Structure 1
Amino acid sequence: MNILKHTPPSLESGSGLLVKGVHRRSFLKWAGGTAAATSLILTGCNDDDTDVIVGEANLGTGDNAVLNYAYALEQLEAAFYQRVIESQFSGITADETALLTDIRDHEVAHREFFKAALGTNAIGGLEVDFSSIDFGKRESVLNAAKTFEDLGVAAYNGAGRFLTSADLLAIAGKIVSVEARHAAYIRDLISNGTFADSTVIDANGLEMSKDPSAVLQAAAPFIKTKINAGVLA
């Protein structure tokens, strides 16, 4: 199974990132893996170009199922952060806008990576439901972001065992490290210094994981499209 034949080459290497200092503005650019990867994927890609379907999305089998599972979650996160930037909450600072824009760009890059890697095996675009989120209020937006980021990290950690491709597992490991940086930053925005706590880190200092069925159940209120997890359920 040569899933990687569709993979953008820039996402398979660690080159292309020019770090200029370690101030907070640079933090998430470093977290993105490579600035070149993000720019290449976003070139010619409209933020709203994900097809919207209503019905059921079947994740498939094997490594394709795992990739589609990740693709579904990245669609959700990308759509959320696009709304965050388009409908900025009251009192948002320039620094918050810049960093949340970085997160949006990372999530769009992740979404497009999985879409490209899956090729014709990719599920369609999911219809999302953010009606429970007040995008005009900072607390509502950041709490939703915390939910999505924590869930994303737990999802990657819980699904890695299903992958049979060592190459895909390595790439998933790189992406989940970015999601963890996002999660830490969002938590720090909510309450400075609370980048991790016992709700996400166990007594052994290890990140907690969730099975796909638990993740999809937690994400269900925000996704209208029914997801058939199949072999991952």
Structure 2
Amino acid sequence: MKKTISVSNKGATLDTGRRNFLKLGGLGIAMAGLALVGCSDNEFDYQYMDPANKFDLGTGDVGVLNYAYALEQLEADFYTKVVNNFYSGISDAEKTLFTDLYHHEVIHRDFFKAAISGVTTNVLPTLEFQYPNVNFSNRASVLATAKALEDTGVAAYNGAGKYITNPDYLVIAGKIVSVEARHASAIRNLINPGSADFSGDDVINATGLDVAKEPTEIVSVAGGFIKTPFTWKERGIS
């Protein structure tokens, strides 16, 4: 059964600054080329525009890739804002950490754009975002938002893995989600240094496995940051 997820919000403008990206961006493009060897349009079943002219992420592997691309755009945009105007009193160690996270998320974002472009011209457009409840000058506000985004990202990859049919994409998703989990752990340690929060009960279940969330759950959290409307008609979700 197909379920349509719709995201549509209004808010602030997008900061397009991408400081220091050029020295790392080529890695993402090279990875995309390796992952897409042997793939073609007819391997996917997708449709991209619904009657309301909202962009539709599609179904099958393309839909999952566009879904991941949307989340990586959000994380890259958030960290771009963080590193372009660090919060008051930030330490050099925290500057280094956030700069690393920024580089990682920009590479992830551009990897997915290149990957999707390799199989179709109907790539999710550059999204616009809003942060109505985030004070980028305040450490606690930035860390709380980073924690929410990183935890959401990990749970999103964990939940979407079962919808991927191409094993090459699944391998790449596994490598990216492990990086996202490292991000989440680092942010949690900044919030509560030396604690066990890096693997807290809110993200690790009783069997020792990380939380997995369906796209409907993820959109309910991340959708508040996303201005650009889009839909996704998923397979396999009742």
For 1:211 and 1:78, how far apart are their aligned partners in 2? 22
**Could you tell me how far 1:56 is from its partner in structure 2?**
3.0
Q: How does 1:85-124 map to 2 (within 5 A)?
A: 85-119=83-117, 120-124=121-125
User: What fraction of aligned residue pairs are identical, expressed as a percent?
Assistant: 50
Aligned position for 1:229: 232
Residue 139 of structure 1 aligns to which amino acid in structure 2?
A
For 1:61 and 1:126, how far apart are their aligned partners in 2? 19
For 1:126 and 1:167, how far apart are their aligned partners in 2? 26
Kindly report the root-mean-square deviation, in angstroms, between the aligned alpha carbons of the 2 structures: 1.9
Task: Say which structure, 1 or 2, has more relative contact order (CA 8 Å, 6+ apart).
Answer: 2
Residue 137 of structure 1 aligns to which amino acid in structure 2?
N
Would the alpha carbon gap of residues 225 and 185 (structure 1) be closer, same or farther in structure 2, given more than 3 Å must change? same
For 2:108 and 2:205, how far apart are their aligned partners in 1? 27
Q: Secondary structure of the residue that 2:198 maps to in structure 1?
A: coil
Which structure is higher in helix share? Answer: 1
Aligned position for 1:84: 82
Residue 206 of structure 2 aligns to which amino acid in structure 1?
A
Unaligned runs of 5+ in 2: 1-22, 30-52
**Could you tell me how far 1:39 is from its partner in structure 2?**
4.5
Aligned position for 2:24: 38
Q: Does 1:66 align with 2:64?
A: yes
Deviations 1:146-188 (A, max 9, x none): 0000000000000000000001000000000000000000000
**Could you tell me how far 1:131 is from its partner in structure 2?**
2.2
Q: Secondary structure of the residue that 1:230 maps to in structure 2?
A: strand
Q: How does 1:183-198 map to 2 (within 5 A)?
A: 183-192=184-193, 193=195, 194-198=197-201
For 2:165 and 2:28, how far apart are their aligned partners in 1? 29
Is the Cα contact below 8 Å between 2:28 and 2:111 reproduced in 1?
Answer: no
For 1:66 and 1:85, how far apart are their aligned partners in 2? 29
4+ residue runs over 3 A deviation:
none
Deviations 1:92-131 (A, max 9, x none): 0111101100000000000000000000231101110012
Q: How does 1:1-233 map to 2 (within 5 A)?
A: 38-41=24-27, 56-119=54-117, 120-192=121-193, 193=195, 194-231=197-234
For 1:117 and 1:225, how far apart are their aligned partners in 2? 21
Residue 208 of structure 1 aligns to which amino acid in structure 2?
V
Residue 106 of structure 1 aligns to which amino acid in structure 2?
H
TM-score (structure 2 length as normaliser): 0.75
When the two structures are aligned, how many residues end up with a matched partner? 187
Q: Secondary structure of the residue that 2:220 maps to in structure 1?
A: helix
Residue 38 of structure 1 aligns to which amino acid in structure 2?
L
For 1:181 and 1:143, how far apart are their aligned partners in 2? 16
Residue 209 of structure 1 aligns to which amino acid in structure 2?
A
Q: Secondary structure of the residue that 1:143 maps to in structure 2?
A: helix
**Could you tell me how far 1:61 is from its partner in structure 2?**
1.7
Deviations 1:178-227 (A, max 9, x none): 00000000000000122120100000110011001110111111001122
Aligned position for 1:28: none
For 2:55 and 2:94, how far apart are their aligned partners in 1? 34
Unaligned runs of 5+ in 1: 1-36, 44-54
